[in-house]
Amino acid sequence: MPDTYVPDDAPRIEIEDIGSNPAPRETIGEVMERRLSRRAALFGLGGAAAAATLTDQLLAAAEPAMAQAAVPMTGGPSSLTFREIPHGMAQRDAVPEGYEIQTVIRWGDAVVPEAPDFDPMAQTPEKQAQQFGYNNDFLDFRPLPQGSQNSDRGLLVVNHEYTDTQLMFPGIGAGRAGRMRATAEQSQTELMAHGLSVVEIRRQTGRWQVVQNSRYNRRITGETEIRISGPAAGHDLLKTAWDPTGNRVLGTLNNCAGGNTPWGTILTAEENFNQYFSGEAARNGAQAESYRRYGIEAQGAYAWSRHIERFDLDKHPNEPNRFGWIVEFDPYDPNSVPVKRTALGRFKHEGATHAINHDGRVVIYSGDDERFDYVYKFVTARPWNPNDRAANRDLLDEGTLYVARFHDDGKMEWLPLVHGQGPLTAANGFHSQADVLINTRRAADLLQPTPMDRPEDVEANPANGRVYVMLTNNSNRTAQQVNASNPRARNVHGHVIEIVPPGAGTSSVDHASTEGRWEIFLMAGKPGFDAGARYHRATSESGWLSCPDNCAFDSKGRLWIATDGAPSAAGVADGIWAADTQGAGRALTKQFYRAPTGAEVCGPCFTPDGRTLFLAIQHPGDDAGSTFEKPSTRWPDFAENMPPRPSVIAIVKRDGGEIGS
């Protein structure tokens, strides 16, 4: 989902930008502001620049051990050997010399064996349900055979986050107005273009291709039957006319990023589910307050409520409570029923990535992507069983959900969201753990975590045990609201935070701990131009980035960042930037891939051998005024009658070597 402000009639769906956390906590900000004003007065620094500098100094002063561990951002070149590409904006995408882009699968391509050919002039829900969906986001490559480290054959698992009505159908017209004109059949088609795809892919004679008749190939759509499990399953607030048990739901929606588990299942994250619902109940219904905290409004962003009854809040007020969860499914079993794991909480989950704790418990990190919302982690109650896959089947139903508070001295706490503890009691409207989970945001508010600048991917780096938090931007943060972990007012470019759990860098890293430390890895934006931008000193004219969103680590522990929002925030295309996380090249970002116009880059994912980097290119051609008839690019086909198509690409090195080397 694109990220920055665009005018009302622009085609982008901006629901996720509407901060719905009404009362961000100010305490740290007040402290910072006081210190900042003093420092700014002493050194004549601007607020944001001062904040970035001061954060370093605070950390260094408060925590000598950590200051020592952190390599200063000076000197030394990057370990990455590619020649970076320049900033720009073009109809085509670009990679460095010596690399090649292969298109693996596009919107409309066949997924299940009997899928009909794609004809964008005659799309139907039935066809779409068998074809690759729209707006690919999260990607995972699960090797085949299962349990192997094969890098030439595997399952490509792909999220389809949302639909761009105006680019999918002829005659719709641009922008929000166009989107709201969708017919019943078009709304149904959009519903089928959501969810996920699983396709078997193989690399043969250097080229990645879909195996057309694989038994694994599968579509999960907005109508696939899904089970609800964990503490909130069966709760009254999850019951509907269609499902009086509160135990099953049709479909998964707005699947943004995701992750996987040590036992090989997929976790897919429901993010901006709010935008599909409409109804007066959002203004005056019994659940209006709960809706408000999730950004559910009287008029949503789609025409669905007119055509598909369950999206009408006035008829089915509990339906939205059945979205906003983490969904687990087994891609190796094409008949597996996906499960919404309510123990992991309900919010606008960006993703759900795992780390294995030293004691075998599994920790799932997840950001709530909204301005002034929070970073979470879930810790399983029991260790996972590496010898018995079936024993892990319901591991994610039991455990503790925590929300993060970042202190200005570089320390942090993880606050448990447990019914009966602290303020999470009946006195505050929480009668059970199910209540806490269904209204996770409101429960978290009471614990006073740190309101962040839109947490996107939160992912542990296996090489050093540190956890990287992509904070994409927050142009609404005022100078009064800055704090050490969100140090920039009007933060249009975002930043990256590095969490250091106890024992990070050793074999006993404690991801389950309720304590930790943190520091800022980089402040995005153009150095010397955007206040507070901060990278390695040697970062080049092409190496700065804006609006970090998804990320991945290569086998050397280097961080690969995908951006979403650079066109609006910085006037340049989104893309991929890579940097060392340790050593002399730490935070020296280099531009590796440039997206076609209108697109953001999602889902970076390496094969186990590091020789292929898969990327999901989302909403190509989604520029202001773009329509099916007149898109700003026809990437990737560039055929006259073919609209732009969100697609998964594979980037390989021409000499067959490791990406980035």
The footprint of ligand FEO (CB under 6 A) covers 1, 161, 256, 271, 350, 369, 456
- Report if residue 201 touches Ca ion, rule: CB under 5 A: no
Query: Which residue, 162 or 332, is less far from ligand FEO as judged by CB?
Result: 162
Out of Ca ion, ligand FEO, none, which partner does residue 510 contact, by CB within 5 to 8 A per kind?
A: none
Give me the least distance between CB of 205 and ligand FEO, in Å please. 35
Query: Which residue, 243 or 369, is less far from ligand FEO as judged by CB?
Result: 369
Query: Which residue, 18 or 538, is less far from ligand FEO as judged by CB?
Result: 18
Query: Which residue, 28 or 616, is less far from Ca ion as judged by CB?
Result: 616
Out of Ca ion, ligand FEO, none, which partner does residue 271 contact, by CB within 5 to 8 A per kind?
A: ligand FEO
Give me the least distance between CB of 43 and ligand FEO, in Å please. 36
Query: Which residue, 456 or 580, is less far from ligand FEO as judged by CB?
Result: 456
Query: Which residue, 445 or 564, is less far from Ca ion as judged by CB?
Result: 564
Give me the least distance between CB of 258 and ligand FEO, in Å please. 11
Give me the least distance between CB of 138 and Ca ion, in Å please. 8
Give me the least distance between CB of 655 and ligand FEO, in Å please. 34
- Report if residue 564 touches Ca ion, rule: CB under 5 A: yes
What residues form DSSP beta bridges with 602?
Answer: 616
Residues 473-532 that bind Ca ion (CB under 5 A): none
How far is Cα 429 from Cα 654, in angstroms, rounded to an integer? 60
Query: Which residue, 603 or 660, is less far from ligand FEO as judged by CB?
Result: 603
Give me the least distance between CB of 623 and Ca ion, in Å please. 16
Give me the least distance between CB of 120 and ligand FEO, in Å please. 24
* Alpha helices (H) in 394-518, listed in sequence order: 433-438, 440-447
Side-chain-side CA neighbours of 276 within 13 Å: the count stands at 33
Q: Which of 578, 527, 540 is nearest to 557 (CA)?
A: 578
Q: What does the block give as tokens for 63?
A: 């925590």
Please tell me the chain's helix, strand, coil percentages from 3-state DSSP, rounded to the nearest 5.
Answer: 20, 30, 50
Q: What is residue 392's DSSP assignment?
A: G
Residues 252-291 that bind Ca ion (CB under 5 A): 256
Query: Which residue, 501 or 621, is less far from ligand FEO as judged by CB?
Result: 621
- Report if residue 328 touches Ca ion, rule: CB under 5 A: no
Give me the least distance between CB of 299 and ligand FEO, in Å please. 21
Q: Are 150 and 143 in contact (CB under 8 A)?
A: yes
Out of ligand FEO, Ca ion, none, which partner does residue 482 contact, by CB within 5 to 8 A per kind?
A: none
Q: Are 602 and 623 in contact (CB under 8 A)?
A: no
Give me the least distance between CB of 568 and ligand FEO, in Å please. 14
- Report if residue 1 touches Ca ion, rule: CB under 5 A: yes
Query: Which residue, 63 or 564, is less far from Ca ion as judged by CB?
Result: 564
How far is Cα 614 from Cα 643, in angstroms, rounded to an integer? 22
Query: Would you mind telling me the total number of residues written for the chain in this entry?
Result: 661
- Strand arrangement, sheet containing 411-416: 353-356, 361-367, 375-383, 399-406, 411-416, 515-523, 495-500, 467-471, 455-460
Q: What is residue 381's DSSP assignment?
A: E
Residues 348-387 that bind Ca ion (CB under 5 A): none
- Judged by CB under 5 A, the stretch of 22-30, 251-259, 427-435, 603-611 that binds Ca ion is 251-259
Residue that is written with structure tokens 């899904």 in the block = 226
Residue that is written with structure tokens 């509990």 in the block = 318
Pick one of 330, 368, 397, 549: the residue that binds Ca ion (CB under 5 A): 549
Q: Which of 84, 86, 88, 58 is nearest to 70 (CA)?
A: 58
Query: Which residue, 345 or 494, is less far from Ca ion as judged by CB?
Result: 494
- Judged by CB under 5 A, the stretch of 48-56, 428-436, 502-510, 542-550 that binds Ca ion is 542-550
Q: Is 16 exposed, middle or buried (0-12, 13-18, 19+ CB in 10 A)?
A: buried
Side-chain-side CA neighbours of 298 within 13 Å: the count stands at 5
Spatial neighbors of 123 by CB under 8 A, at least 6 apart, are 108, 168, 169, 189
Residues at the contact surface with Ca ion, assessed by CB under 5 A: 1, 3, 256, 456, 549, 564
